[in-house]
């Protein structure tokens, strides 16, 4: 029986499952290289942690690995029901809350290495967390796709630690009651991008779709709905998605260096994202809170026909 020690949390409603021990040994080297080893040699571990019967389509896994550089606090590889993420904003907030819960870190600054770059996290004394994201940028604007059943949709392509297509407006209000039509609409956009071979500037799939509309509360600037790669929607306002949004707003001159964007997600929870430039890079600072929901061991029984999880 293999035992895998995990801590579960949610950040603004979106779950994170941090794997603290019992995961595969990915050796040493950059986190980017260790992600390649994870994907090639241990993908069954990803599936078994986040897919049913242990997980669900909404869960983002976070495998904690020793960092490449001695001064960093940890390395992390994020994954979900469909594969691997570059960065994950809500997941990093969940990771920091988890390391605080287990007593491994105290309030202050912590350097976390991810496959797409190093991020700086700050655990505040009151328990919330800020994360200085990797460098973010808009790479295309005014991209028009013909979406069967919906007509032409225009949006931007931006990198926020993952690739996003971002557009304004939707065929219905951005409310929880409309999750089904919003999921259908954003899946149709993603299929149209694939069909048109529209990718990120590095040729990677644009696997997150973010649509925006008016906020429910006047103190926020916008509400979003974000489709994740595995077909689930982000329950949080999506840290990397809001970073991509901030990159678009800055490129349009609608947000200035140092300004804060309050992004509401589909549950009404909020991330505050500050548009910070560091040198000539845009490194948005995402602020939010996570709550621990569980801690324990996952058990992997080799006789179990579903030991590697079930893809619905
Ligand atoms: O918060 O960056 C994020 C995120 C990505 C996918 C789900 N959440």
Mean pLDDT score of the chain: 97
Summarised one tens digit per residue, pLDDT across range 13-31 is: 999 999 999 999 999 999 9
Q: What percent of the chain has pLDDT over 90?
A: 99
Phi/psi for 184 (5° steps) reads -60, -45
Which distant-in-sequence residues (6+ apart) come within 8 Å of 57 by Cβ?
A: 80, 81, 230, 231, 232, 312
Tell me the pLDDT band of 213, cut-offs 50, 70 and 90.
Answer: very high
Residue 305 CA to ligand 1 centre (angstroms): 31
CB neighbours of residue 262 within 10 Å: 17
Q: Which two tokens stand for residue 26?
A: 């990915």
Residue 262 CA to ligand 1 centre (angstroms): 16
The mean per-residue pLDDT over the stretch 188-211 comes to 98
- For residue 79, what pLDDT is reported? 98
- For residue 200, what pLDDT is reported? 98
pTM surpassing 0.85? yes
Give the end-to-end CA distance of the chain in Å, rounded to a whole number: 25
Which distant-in-sequence residues (6+ apart) come within 8 Å of 65 by Cβ?
A: 26, 31, 34, 74, 75, 76, 77
Q: Give the active site residue among 88, 136, 228, 248.
A: 88
> In this model, does residue 32 exceed pLDDT 80?
yes
Locate the ligand 1 atom nearest the alpha carbon of residue 90 and give its number: 1
Phi/psi for 311 (5° steps) reads -90, 120
The mean per-residue pLDDT over the stretch 147-152 comes to 98
Tell me the pLDDT band of 311, cut-offs 50, 70 and 90.
Answer: confident
- For residue 312, what pLDDT is reported? 67
């Amino acid at each position: 029986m293999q035992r895998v020690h995990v801590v579960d949390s949610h950040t603004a409603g979106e779950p994170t499952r941090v794997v603290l021990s019992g995961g595969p040994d990915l050796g040493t080297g950059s986190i980017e290289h260790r992600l390649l080893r994870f994907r090639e040699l241990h993908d069954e571990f990803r599936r078994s942690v986040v897919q049913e019967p242990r997980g669900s389509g909404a869960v983002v896994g976070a495998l904690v690995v020793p960092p490449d550089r001695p001064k960093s606090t940890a390395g992390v590889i994020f994954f979900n029901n469909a594969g691997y993420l570059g960065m994950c904003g809500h997941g990093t907030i969940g990771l920091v809350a988890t390391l605080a819960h287990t007593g491994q870190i105290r309030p202050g600054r912590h350097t976390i290495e991810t496959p797409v770059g190093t991020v700086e996290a700050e655990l505040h004394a009151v328990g919330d967390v800020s994360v200085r994201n990797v460098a973010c940028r808009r790479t295309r604007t005014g991209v028009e796709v013909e979406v069967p059943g919906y007509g032409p949709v225009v949006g931007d392509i931006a990198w926020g630690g993952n690739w996003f297509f971002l557009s304004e407006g939707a065929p219905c209000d951005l409310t929880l009651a409309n999750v089904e039509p919003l999921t259908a609409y954003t899946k149709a956009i993603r299929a149209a991008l694939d069909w048109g071979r529209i990718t990120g500037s590095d040729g990677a799939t644009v696997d997150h779709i973010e649509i925006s509309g008016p906020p429910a509360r006047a103190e926020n600037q916008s509400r979003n709905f974000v489709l994740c790669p595995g077909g689930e929607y982000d329950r949080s306002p999506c840290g990397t998605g809001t970073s991509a949004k901030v990159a678009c707003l800055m490129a349009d001159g609608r947000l200035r260096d140092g300004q804060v964007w309050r992004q509401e997600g589909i549950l009404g929870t909020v991330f505050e994202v500050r548009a910070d430039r560091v040198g000539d890079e845009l490194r948005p600072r995402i602020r939010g809170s996570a709550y621990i929901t569980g801690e324990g061991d996952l058990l992997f029984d080799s006789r179990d026909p579903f030991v590697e999880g079930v893809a619905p």
